[in-house]
Each structure stands twice: as C-alpha cells, then as structure tokens.
Amino acid sequence: MSSSIINVLSLAVFIFFVQRLWIHFAVHRRFPLPPGPKGWPLIGNLFDLPKEKAYVRYMNMSGEYHSDLLYFNAAGTSLLILNSSEAANDLLVRRWKIYSDRPPLPMASLAGVDFSFGLHSYGDKWRKHRLLFKREISALNLQTYQKPLLQESMIMFLHNLLETPQKFESHIHLLFGGTLLSSAYGLSVEDLQDYYLMLVKEGMRAVAEVTIPGTYIVDFFPVLKYLPAWFPGISFKRKAAQERVYIDGMVHETMSFVKKNMKNGTAKSSIASRQLQKMHNEGTWSEEEETVLRNVLGVLYGAGTDTTAITTMDIILGFLLNPDSLKKGQAAVDAALGFDRLPDYGDEGKIPYVDAVVMEALRWQPVAPLGLAHYTRSADIYRGHYIPANTIVLENTWAILHDPATYGEDVDQFRPGRFLNPDGTLNNAVPYPSAAFGYGRRTCPGKSYAQSALWLTVASLLSCFDFSKPVNEKGEEIHLSVDYIDGLITHPSTFECIIRPRSKVVERLIRQKREQQVLS
C-alpha cells in the first residue's frame, strides 16, 4: 500500500477521534454522562469492556457505581448499559422514537448478516420485513400450519429419545430445526445429518461469531473495512469472508431448493411456496419482494431454531440440578392428562406448572443475556444524565431477570415454583420474564411461536421421561459442572444426561404414535 493511502487513512482515523471527543468533552457540559469507568485519553474505556460473561460483569458494576446506568466511551464509541427493567422500559419503550434504531455493525455486514431484519435500522425497510414475519407467525397461521407441524415433529422427537437418548442434544436441534425448515421451505428433515439442517447450524454459528459486541476492531473503527485483507491487523476481513460462505448458504440455498421444486411441480406447501405463488398469481413478484421473503425466512428458521433448542437444553439441565422441579412437573402433567395419552396443543395453558417451567427457563438462562443492541437517533437527557446521539444501548437482560428484588434471593437457582401460588396457580405478582424477548418496537416477533413450542416440549418431556445425572462405574451420580459458552447467544457446554421412559405404557404410546406416523 502506498504511503499516500496510509496517510489518508490515518487522517480519517484522527478526524474520527476528534469528532467523537468533541461530542464527549465540548458539547452539553451542563449534564454529566452516566456513571462508568474513567477511561484513558483517546482510547477511553476500550480496555474496560469485559471480554467474558460481560452481562455478569455489567450487573456487578451496577453495585460498584450505585447506578443501573453504566456508560463507556470505547475509543469514541458511546456505550450505555441498562441494568434494570425501570431504565429499559423508560428508554426503550416509552422513548422508543429515540432508542429503536440498531447500530451499524461493519463486521456483521461484511459477513452477510445484513439479511437479518432484526439488525436493520428502524424505518420502512425494517417495517416491511417485520410485517411479513408477523403475518406468517400470526395466531391463525400458528394454529393452521406451525402447531400441527410441531405436533408431528414431536412424535419423532420422543421416539428418537427412546432409541438413542444419549444423542438428546442433536434430537432437540432436529425437532426445532426440522419443524421450521418444513414450515418455511417444505423440507422433510428426519436425519440428524441432513444437509440443510447442518447448513442452518453452521450458518447460525457463523452469525453468532461475527455479531459478538466488542470483539472486532472494525466495529469501533469502521474506516478499517476499506483496507485490504492482507494489511497487518486486518484479519477480521478474512474471518468475515470465511463465515459469509456459511451465512449465504443458509439463506440462499434453501430458497433455491423451493424454487427448483416449484418449477418441477414437486414443491410441498410452505411459507416460501405459498408466498412465491401468491406473488406470481397477483403479478407482484419482483427481485426485491423475493429478497424480503428470503431474508424473513432466514431469520425465522435460523434464529428460531437456536433459541428454542438452547432453552430446551437449559430446561433439561435445570431438571438435573433441581430434581424436585422434575417430580413436581411430572405430577402436575399426570394430574391433568392421566396416563393414556400424550400432551397436545389442546392442553396448552391448562397446566400451570408447565407454564412456570417455561418462564423459569427464560428467566434463569436468557439465550441473549445482553439482548440485541439499540442505537440512539438523537441525544437525550435521562435522570439528569446526557446520553449522546449514536450511542449503542444494551439492555442487560441477565441483570433484569436476576434481580433479587423481583424474583427472590435464589435467582441463580432453577426453581419454577417462584412463578406459582401455594395452590399451584400462576402467581401474577411475579412478572413474566418478557425481557427475554427484548423491549419496545424491537421486541422479538417470534415470541408467540417460541412460547407455544416450548410449552409443548416441556409437557411432552415431563409426561414421557425421567432425567438423571450420569453415574460412574460404582453407580454414583457424577457432579454436574456446566459452563455457558459466550456469544451473542449463549448456550451450555455439552453435558451428559441419563434419559429413560417413565413407564412401559409411555414407551408403547410413543412407539404406536410413531408407527402410525410412518404408515400414514
């Protein structure tokens, strides 16, 4: 690279710093910034940002600074952490006009994650994508398409657990991934090694890799994206190119599958086939309209698979760590259903303990503990503090859902009973863990599907299986020490579990249902 180019880039970085520092130190001096570490000249708090389990560190820092607001200036980038539901509701819900945007994520864009409307700026493009998503996950479509598909997939899932219980993690991913791939594209997925299922898994792994806040220098200095990949320190470009292969494959190959089958007349009914056919019938097809559809479906089956699968793993882990919750859940399901049938969607909402297990899993281990970043469109004054424009705002979902004042002193424990009254009914005085789905205009639009899918899964697991810790050669239980792997979405590290059918009656019911399914 010539010295002139390096000089231009150096000047651009210098100007970037000066502009940001002017905002922080010369503008709005009448109002202080929210509390936070002091920082260093130029780089500010760049090295104060926690690298591991940031959500826990931010929660603890609230106590250190006696504030539920924490402010960082990371090399000129403003970052605000909201550690309470009060602050999150005040800013993200009540002042949504300022706080509903998303920050630019150069690394994610380089890797192709800009297909996800969840990361789009607040505006018409985002509204168009979200409207289509909500229409396809509406109450009517849930009842007509998604719920019956999940009910069918559940039978295969329960049968898989009977046959190879040691592969429970893969079976869980197959349950949700297969259901959503069938719903979105008409794909029939029954094999753990199915090509499209593996494509989704790798694609979502890649998405998680490139969207971790504070990981890539280009997210702090966007000008660096113009440097060639061979330039020293620009390894992020090679990383982005590698991950883009998986992300593009996840989004594009599935749609190509549907279009090819529609052309051949062999396409099964799915969201993709119905929407594409509707466009052609009405003469509204365009490349832009198809791109919107493709993007929305990528979000639906990509994010929907990971979040529900991880939460189900959390639930099983919770049962292992608190066997009493498993016994109480089994007793509640038995009392409601008896012993001669399996749960179905007609039972949803009729077994409060199952609702409590779902709520406790969402609260205990939120899959996105720092949510998805918001972004201020303009400056704001809140509680006498100045919040600059273009500030990245993170709601600390972990801190909100681990608030002892709201959920009790044992917030680190898995205890579904915290949501119940002594008589077994739901205790409305304990808030639903809605923070797990985000705040304001950017609340997760798949909330209703996730709740229903998790409800049926929990009811089915409680009805059919016992879960216990692994044992050593002496038959003694092995202590479980499970860590959570960091990322935009966190998940438990692999753990072992003994899964057995609760009775011969249950085993026979599952096998009969699966046999009928195969023959039909």
> What is the rounded distance in angstroms from the CA atom of residue 27 to the CA atom of residue 18?
13
| Helices 323-337, 447-464: crossing angle, 10 deg rounding | 90
Q: Tell me which amino acid residue 286 is.
A: S
∠ CA 153-492-396, nearest 5°, is 105
CA distances from 346 to 257, 452, 456, 511 (A): 34, 11, 10, 21
Cα–Cα nearest to 129, from 290, 284, 282: 290
51-61 in b/e form (b: 16+ CB < 10 A) is eeebbebbbeb
Q: Tell me which amino acid residue 144 is.
A: T
CA distances from 471 to 254, 327, 405 (A): 42, 20, 37
Would the annotation count 464 as a binding residue?
no
> What is the rounded distance in angstroms from the CA atom of residue 304 to the CA atom of residue 162?
25
Q: Tell me which amino acid residue 156 is.
A: M
Q: Tell me which amino acid residue 499 is.
A: I
Which secondary-structure segment (H or E) carries 167? none
> What is the rounded distance in angstroms from the CA atom of residue 380 to the CA atom of residue 388?
7
Query: What three-state secondary structure class fits 501?
Result: strand
Binding residue numbers for heme: 444
Binding residue numbers: 444
